[in-house]
Amino acid sequence: MAKAVITKIKLISSADTGYYYVTKKNSRTMTEKLVKKKYDPIAKKHVEFRESKIK
């Protein structure tokens, strides 16, 4: 069976608040780790969110 093209990933806050977003990523076109600046409501500011696997 073929590997799924679109996988779910978890974006974890770099502010170490424990807050995260869940999103989808095309693993064939985006091979590197995803890093986005998004709002962290616990830190009350925009911080970098880094990709990790959903366990």
Q: What is the mean pLDDT of each run of 10 residues along the chain (55 residues)?
A: 90 96 94 96 97 91
**Domain containing residue 37:** 6-52
Q: Per the domain annotation, does 35 fall within a domain? A: yes
For the entire predicted model, the pTM comes to 0.84
Number of domains in the chain: 1
Q: Provide DSSP, the chain.
A: -PPPSEEEEEEEETTSS--EEEEEEETTT--SPPEEEEEETTTTEEEEEEEE---
Q: Per the domain annotation, does 10 fall within a domain? A: yes
Q: Per the domain annotation, does 1 fall within a domain? A: no
Cβ(25)–Cβ(32) below 8 Å: no
Q: Per the domain annotation, does 28 fall within a domain? A: yes
Res 50: pLDDT: 97
CATH number at residue 37: 2.20.28.120
Res 55: pLDDT: 81
Res 44: pLDDT: 97
Res 4: pLDDT: 87
Angstrom CA distances, 28 to 13, 15, 19, 40, 41, stand at: 24, 29, 27, 29, 32
